[in-house]
Amino acid sequence: MKKKTQGLTFQCAIIFTIFSVCMLMLTGVLTYVNQTKTYTEQCLEKARALDSYLAKLMQADSHDVVHYIDYYMDHYKDIKMKWDFDEYQTAFENFNNLFNEKYPGKTLGVDIQVEDLSDDVQEAYFEYDHQYWVLTFESAKEAFDMSYTYFLVMGDPRSRTEDLAKMYGEGNYDTEHTALYLIDGERTEATETNENGEEVGTGYLWLGDTYYNAVDKQHEVEWETWNTGKTLDRYQEWDNEWGHTYSYYTPLIIDGRKLGLIVAEIDVETVNKGLLRTTLIQTGGIAVILIALIIIVLFAINRLYISKIEDLEKNVNDYAAEKNVRIAEKIRENIKGKNEIALLSEKTADMIAELDTYMNNIRTITAEKERIGSELKVATHIQAEMLPTNFPDHKDFSLYASMNPAKEVGGDFYDFFMIDEDHLGLVIADVSGKGVPAALFMAISKMLLNLRSLAYGTPADFLSDVNRLLCENNGGNLFVTVWLGVLTLSTGNLICANAGHEYPVLKRNGKNFTLLVSDHCPPLAAMEDMQFENKTIQLYAGDELFLYTDGVPEAKSASGERFGMERMIEILNNNKELSPKMLLKKMKQEIDSFIGDCDQFDDVTMLGFRYNRDPDKL
How far is Cα 293 from Cα 527, in angstroms, rounded to an integer?
43
Q: Is 526 exposed, middle or buried (0-12, 13-18, 19+ CB in 10 A)?
A: buried
How far is Cα 425 from Cα 452, in angstroms, rounded to an integer?
11
Q: What is the mean pLDDT of residues 420-441?
A: 86
328 or 56: which leads in pLDDT: 56
pLDDT confidence tier of residue 485, bands split at 50, 70 and 90:
very high
Tell me: do 422 and 570 sit in the same domain: yes
Q: Among 274, 303, 321, identify where a domain stops.
A: 274
- One-letter identity of residue 217: K
Q: Among 231, 249, 274, identify where a domain stops.
A: 274
The answer to which of 240-254, 475-489, 507-521 has the lowest mean pLDDT is 240-254
Q: Among 274, 293, 316, identify where a domain stops.
A: 274
Q: What is the mean pLDDT of residues 437-442?
A: 81
How far is Cα 479 from Cα 527, in angstroms, rounded to an integer?
9
Per the prediction, the chain carries an average pLDDT of 84
The 8-class DSSP code of residue 305 comes to I
For residue 99, how many other CB atoms are within 10 A of its CB? Answer: 19
Report the residue count for the chain: 618
Residue 598 near residue 557, CB atoms below 8 Å: yes
Backbone angles phi, psi at 289, to 5 degrees: -65, -45
H-only helix segments in 144-267: 164-168, 220-228
Tell me: do 91 and 225 sit in the same domain: yes
pLDDT confidence tier of residue 35, bands split at 50, 70 and 90:
low
pLDDT confidence tier of residue 377, bands split at 50, 70 and 90:
low
Residue 9 lies in a domain: no
Tell me: do 78 and 210 sit in the same domain: yes
pLDDT of residue 379: 59
The answer to which of 293-297, 349-353, 462-466, 503-507 has the lowest mean pLDDT is 349-353
How far is Cα 589 from Cα 582, in angstroms, rounded to an integer?
10
pLDDT of residue 481: 94
614 or 232: which leads in pLDDT: 232
Tell me: do 266 and 405 sit in the same domain: no
Residue 379 lies in a domain: no
Query: Would you say residue 151 has pLDDT above 90?
Result: yes
Q: What is the mean pLDDT of residues 345-351?
A: 77
Q: What is the mean pLDDT of residues 521-543?
A: 92
pLDDT of residue 5: 45
Residue 604 lies in a domain: yes
Strands of the sheet with 544-548, listed across from one edge:
397-404, 604-611, 544-548, 505-507, 513-515
How far is Cα 334 from Cα 314, in angstroms, rounded to an integer?
12
pLDDT of residue 523: 94
Residue 70 lies in a domain: yes
Residue 184 lies in a domain: yes
Closest C-alpha among 68, 82, 202 to residue 123: 68
CA atoms lying within 13 Å on the CB side of residue 496: 29
The answer to which of 70-79, 96-105, 470-479 has the lowest mean pLDDT is 470-479
Backbone angles phi, psi at 394, to 5 degrees: -110, 140
Q: Do strands 199-205 and 209-212 pair parallel, antiparallel, or not at all (unpaired)? A: unpaired
Tell me: do 212 and 86 sit in the same domain: yes
Tell me: do 219 and 84 sit in the same domain: yes
Residue 290 lies in a domain: no
Residue 505 lies in a domain: yes
CATH of the domain at 459: 3.60.40.10
Here the contacts of 414-421 (C-beta below 8 Å, separation 24 or greater) are: 414/387, 414/547, 414/605, 414/606, 414/607, 415/387, 415/388, 415/446, 415/449, 415/450, 416/388, 416/607, 417/388, 417/450, 417/453, 418/392, 419/453, 419/454, 419/486
411 or 546: which leads in pLDDT: 546
The per-residue pLDDT for range 359-369, each reduced to its tens digit, is 777 777 767 66
Angle at 477 between CA 475 and CA 479, to 5 degrees: 130
The answer to which of 106-115, 265-274, 414-423, 586-595 has the lowest mean pLDDT is 265-274
CA atoms lying within 13 Å on the CB side of residue 188: 13
Into how many domains does the chain fold? 2
Query: Would you say residue 449 has pLDDT above 80?
Result: yes
Residue 381 lies in a domain: no
Tell me: do 33 and 171 sit in the same domain: yes
Q: Which residue range forms the structural domain that includes residue 161? A: 21-193+201-274
Judged by DSSP in three states, 156 sits in coil
193 or 112: which leads in pLDDT: 112
Give the DSSP H or E segment for 614: none
Tell me the β-bridge partners of 484. 427, 497
pLDDT of residue 233: 85
pLDDT of residue 37: 62
pLDDT of residue 3: 46
The per-residue pLDDT for range 263-298, each reduced to its tens digit, is 998 877 666 666 667 777 777 788 788 788 878 877
Distances (CA, A) of 442 to 224, 248, 387, 482: 93, 87, 11, 11
pLDDT confidence tier of residue 351, bands split at 50, 70 and 90:
confident
pLDDT of residue 483: 96
Q: What is the mean pLDDT of residues 25-36?
A: 66
How far is Cα 188 from Cα 284, in angstroms, rounded to an integer?
43
pLDDT confidence tier of residue 506, bands split at 50, 70 and 90:
very high
Q: Do strands 236-240 and 480-488 pair parallel, antiparallel, or not at all (unpaired)? A: unpaired
pLDDT of residue 267: 77
Backbone angles phi, psi at 554, to 5 degrees: -95, 5
Q: What is the mean pLDDT of residues 62-91?
A: 91
Largest CA distance in the chain: 147
